[in-house]
Structure 1
């Protein structure tokens, strides 16, 4: 595969390259359904341009961010450093920023992970590999639920790599498993008549895996090992519910009349590693697992289901045939027990995972943490749906330093008391936004915003609604409607948030929204500047983390660099890699942002990209790797020693299946494709140096 230091330009037409079968099983064909948000709240472009000047707002909020947290120290933000936006078209100053010194991988459609020249790669762990001692070897043609519950799950998404204290070059790899694609898991799969064993196996293939891995001297390879922390969490593992919805009538079922315990977690998308050493994971497209919404006619319940995209008769997987909890006609509250941020303590294999209801219920892509200088914890999360909202939670409790189990137990309660907010934006160039993506005359898309409070949770776990006409339990369980009621800004699928460890600025991936400005839907605005948005954008927030004010600008407006409607932070567009549909975000040790993509609308494979954030090279975007055909790039982790990514749904194409595989990655030959985690490292050197 050839490498090219500059862009290989491609046509700027067509929609997401994600296969329809992926949409079918990953998100329940969300993009082919009506937009769930039919609220008539105030559109962004109708809001007054600005109530405060940028400088005035930052000075008025007394903005100062911090530096605390084991392994996640965060430096103080400057209050207008000049790196927030660059006017006009800039260019390189001739120096390659540290961390980005590699030959860019050219866009391609290879059935391989393609990396820069001078780099090596190896699979860390793949679907079906043993996680627990005694787990049988993977046998594609003879899968069982019992075996899968001891093996690495399907469709890995988020990954966290946590050092094991006192054991050099040893880590806990914590990975979630977003969804199952049964036609690619089982030969001869009959979608209308799945078997009980296939149902049980799919349940076991969801959830999370905790696996000890060891590094190899002189390389970035990682090898799985059996350790005391190894664990599988599945769709039948018991979770504890905390926060203002715990014990609510909205969560009570015949199997759990207390409303405080839930079996399993579903559709876990991205996540985050907390400064106290636990892992957060977002339950995203949970709606698709539940059947018979059309039989629910209660005039209060039915609109709530519809607002979350819960509709229709039979589900795609037909799980309702085997377990009544997936049948809304029998268990109308079971669906309310999903759509939360979950927290797992990987250092205690016997601990019950937690569902934090103080953070609200919606299609959480992830939850990521910033800690202020006084120990206040701020959790950011996006609702991954067209025209849905951005949220943050500010804890009223302070983080305890140290990594003792006492500190971990204390810090696992941080997300149970505080205030939940939703974002509302105003633009500085509202009159110039016409949906074409044309850059305003100021040379940047930027503006101000505020966080509107929705829910306060007290020390006793009880909630107080801050939304007129809704109870605290209603705000917690039906958070989307709360956002509707306060006029939150409708965004283009807000996915991963990532606070910068060096500046405290917060970055948000907005993946795409082909309904923007179409058929009467909300028109373009400053932060979502294109109608029929196929390629997405990346937002940069300078946030008063514990407060309610922020400024914003667009770092990237993604797509073909030769197209007029793209923007790369002011960097010379002739010297960047094309990027489409940003999804997950990460930072390297040098302060560069890394972006993985999902559904590349430019007709090449998805990949991982570095982006420079500061100086003359701000906006320089380079492709570091690409994943095999049909696959999605997920869960990047970038260090000086290695880059790891989760390769999700390789070979998942519409004319393929387990009976007719389109990919043979990662094992080659005539093998079945298997989702896997891959490590990449530089031969004899450091990543990007």
Structure 2
């Protein structure tokens, strides 16, 4: 192994199973090969839990009522979907199997390059990396890419996605939002392309995309429209308005922005959320890998910022990516926020909301509380970091006009920010093996610890601006629970319960690191778990909650420490490394995974999980993505029997001329791949639908698809298609 490869891929030889070390390098800057960022000496709940909470009787029959009396007064019960604005998908009150009937697929070996769906279903791309968005944009040509071309094309590695219907279109027109997390230059470009051009194209492949879609009817697949009036790309020179306590503060001013209120670009976008008023949120996650800093301050260390040259070397072209350059000391402080975009207004200015804190946001998801205020949940995707909640100061406007959306886009700028502390009721029994406590559940109570209250700091010695910019440092001071990488956090619109995907943490319980606790009960937790949280009295604005673990993930055939809320282990699909979450119309939870090749040896996939009654804890695998790929951004339109996912980094471990995947433009078996289309993997947004609809859209779906052309909106000056 060359010294260069060893330097760029420190996880090479240290990843488990079939996990790619390339993903570790490009996605999260080798976080697992670096020192743990959180070295704070928080109290753990095993030290502070009271004798009363330790008694198993509290969590036995009637526990909800007992705990409500114990931890606070009752609040109004949350109505389904909140009040005022209806959720995008009308939800039934109780869970069930839902309208999407399927036979679960078997797990697929991690080295198989295929997109696998249940019998009776078909698939096709909605849009792929490099597909042109604007009239006059060049068609994708892998051998002749340029930065100018990429700026007019769909970006790379789409993560969060949503499809939002255009009002009044009767289900025939919609907008697709997708963000673009990172790039893999080794499989994207021929080696003879100059390094400077490679970097420029890669920068243009980051950011966000909004794409207009159309279909003949609700039974037809979606197609995107080239040149549609709502199509746009958000690039690294796109201005974003910074809102909240950080705006205008000394911590975010640079030589290019002396006012500290306008930030160019967004980086490392991971998951997101769609607000009740129809805007899109996207979380800036692994931004630290894009910057060189002195690496000596507490803030640098806490955010994983170092003085090492970056793997992408953007600092070679733009001085702001080396914060040691004069005037750019604060540039890294301008990333790590929740971004909000109005997909229906091409002229609107996107926002970065500092009130929701600065950390490695997996995403943010909003629900309307009973009093009309909005609540946003977000996880910090780092080993031993925290779970957060924001509560707005003002209430939502319930109209659907552009003016209402603009007003509601101010809601995330003012309010209160909290961080979660969990307390278990079976503390003495938690020994790191994952063994279920004698009361039959991992469960307990918790509280939301204030960081900012009504726009004012609640952390002694820190201003509100400091809390907003250095949120991790502020949270360390108040003693929240260190979690096993809290990623996507989704409130269920049917019940108001909140679900937290804790992906994994192989450092849990090792010497010198945080020990196990009931909310994170396994030593060297490689497979992850799902937390179910119920706000006190059903009030999303409450500062108290109860919780339990819905699932402790893994392959039951090889791992005895799995748990599925009592559902028989021999009847579930094996699942590991839960990442993104979604819900269907029956209230079932859907989970996409990221990391199964390195834990249980299977390709990542999408899974449905029952939440109620005899179906609670039942896991059924719906689809599997290709080799080296990650399942992202699930959209469940089971009322139409449609499912959508973003397939990120397929073929990650390959190289130009030796690709690991040809997804989604597979060539016919037995024929040699051709240079260009079909010769390299292309991250894509995929739609899955009943096979009887095959051929009713523009192209034949499934294997071999990918050469159909989208419709061009070259009429009416960019107005919506009729």
Q: TM-score, normalised by structure 2?
A: 0.86
Q: 1:236 to 1:69 in 2, by over 3 A?
A: farther
Deviation at 1:605, TM superposition (A): 0.1
Question: Pairwise mapping of residues 110-189 of structure 1 onto structure 2 (< 5 A)?
Answer: 110-168=112-170, 169-188=172-191
Deviations along 1:321-376, one digit per CA (max 9) or x if unpaired, are 11010002112210000000000011111111100011110000000001012211
Bigger drift between 662-671 and 98-107 goes to 98-107
The answer to whether 1:234 aligns with 2:235 is yes
Cα drift, residue 45 of structure 1: 2.2
| Residue 543 of structure 2: aligned partner | 548
d(CA) in 1 for partners of 2:426 and 2:643? Answer: 39
1:7 corresponds in structure 2 to: none
Gapped runs of 5+ residues in structure 1? 1-12, 84-95, 458-462
Distance 1:271 1:438 in 2: 33
TM-aligned CA deviation for residue 195 of structure 1: 2.4
Closer/same/farther in 2, CA of residues 437 and 204 from structure 1, 3 Å limit: same
Match of 1:290 in 2: 291
| Counterpart among 474, 488, 509 of residue 517 in structure 1 | 509
Q: Does 1:572 align with 2:584?
A: no
Structure 2: distance between partners of 1:189 and 1:329: 32
Aligned ranges 1:275-674 → 2 under 5 Å: 275-294=276-295, 297=296, 302-330=297-325, 331-457=328-454, 463-543=455-535, 544-562=539-557, 563-600=559-596, 601-640=599-638, 641=640, 642-653=642-653, 656-669=654-667, 670=673, 671-674=679-682
Change (3 A) 1:252 1:374: same
Residues 564-596 of structure 1: CA deviation (Å, up to 9, x unaligned): 200011101110000000000000111100000
Match of 1:270 in 2: 271
Kept in 2: contact 1:270–1:282 (CA 8 A): yes
- What is the rounded CA distance, in whole Å, between the counterparts of 1:37 and 1:77 in structure 2? 41
Q: Secondary structure at the match of 1:567?
A: coil
Q: 2:683 aligned with 1:679, yes or no? A: no
Mapped partners of 2:200, 2:239: distance in 1: 16
Q: Is the 8 A contact 1:65 1:76 kept in 2?
A: no
Structure 1 residue 186, shift from structure 2 partner: 1.3
1:501 CA drift (Å): 1.2
- Tell me the CA shift for residue 75 of structure 1: 9.7
Shift of 1:74: 9.8
Taking the aligned partners of 1:197 and 1:112, their CA distance within structure 2 comes to 32
- In the aligned structure 2, how far is the partner of 1:321 from the partner of 1:265? 19
Hey, what's the Cα distance between the residues in 2 that align with 1:230 and 1:57? 50
Aligned to 1:140, the other structure's residue is in SS state coil
Post-superposition offset of 1:220: 4.8
CA distance in 2, matches of 1:661, 1:495: 30
Q: CA separation of 1:16/1:585 partners in 2, compared to 1, >3 Å: closer, same or farther?
A: farther
Relative distance call for 1:103 and 1:285 in structure 2 (3 A) is same
TM-score w.r.t. the length of structure 1 is 0.90
Whether 1:68 and 2:68 are equivalent positions in the alignment is no
Quote the Cα distance in structure 2 between the aligned partners of 1:383 and 1:599. 18
CA distance in 1, matches of 2:45, 2:271: 27
Q: 1:431 to 1:500 in 2, by over 3 A?
A: same
Find the aligned partners of 2:256 and 2:15 in 1 and give their Cα distance: 47
Task: Please give the secondary structure, in 1, of the residue aligned with 2:65.
Answer: helix
Question: Quick one: distance in 2 between partners of 1:450 and 1:426?
Answer: 9
> Structure 1: how far apart are the matches of 2:683 and 2:234?
18
**Distance in 2 (alpha carbons) for counterparts of 1:254 and 1:406:** 34
Q: How far, CA to CA, are the matches of 1:430 and 1:183 in structure 2?
A: 48
Deviation of the 1:49 alpha carbon: 4.5
Deviation, 1:135, is 1.2
Once residues 18 and 508 of structure 2 are traced to their aligned partners in structure 1, the CA distance between those partners, rounded to angstroms, is 18
Which whole-Å CA distance do the structure 2 matches of 1:49 and 1:588 have between them? Answer: 38
Q: Quote the residue 1:212 is aligned against.
A: 212
Contact 2:98 2:585 in 1 (8 A): no
Asked whether the 8 Å contact 2:91–2:587 carries over to 1, the reply is no
**In structure 1, how many angstroms separate the alpha carbons of the residues matched to 2:423 and 2:192?**
50
* Cα distance between partner residues in 2 of 1:612 and 1:414: 33
- What displacement does 1:403 show? 1.1
The structure 2 residue matched to 1:58, chosen from 55, 63, 68, is 68
Q: How many residues were matched structurally?
A: 643
- Secondary structure at the counterpart of residue 117 of structure 2: coil
Q: How much has 1:421 moved relative to structure 2?
A: 0.2
- 1:77 Cα deviation (Å)? 12
Q: Judging changes above 3 Å, is the alpha-carbon distance between structure 1 residues 210 and 505 closer, same or farther for their aligned structure 2 residues? A: same
Match of 2:257?
256
How much does 1:71 deviate?
A: 4.3
Contact kept? 1:220, 1:680, Cα under 8 Å: no
Pair 1:227–1:49, CA change in 2 (3 A): farther
Task: State the distance in 2 between where 1:61 and 1:386 align.
Answer: 34
**Which stretches of structure 1, 4 residues or more, deviate above 6 A after TM superposition?**
73-78
Between the aligned partners of 1:217 and 1:357, the Cα distance in structure 2 is: 41
Contact in 1 for aligned 2:290/2:321 (Cα 8 Å): yes
Native 8 Å contact 1:75 1:504 kept in 2: no
Q: Give the 3 Å change call, closer, same or farther, for CA 50–392 of structure 1 in structure 2.
A: farther
CA distance in 2 between partners of 1:73 and 1:132 (Å) = 28
What is the CA deviation profile of residues 426-466 of structure 1, one whole-angstrom value per residue up to 9, with x for unaligned ones? 00111100000000111110000000010135xxxxx4210
* CA distance in 2 between partners of 1:643 and 1:533 (Å): 30
Measured after TM superposition, the shift of residue 14 of structure 1 is 8.1
* Counterpart Cα distance in 1 of 2:650 and 2:543: 42
Indicate the larger mover: 207-216 or 393-402: 207-216
CA distance in 1, matches of 2:52, 2:136: 63
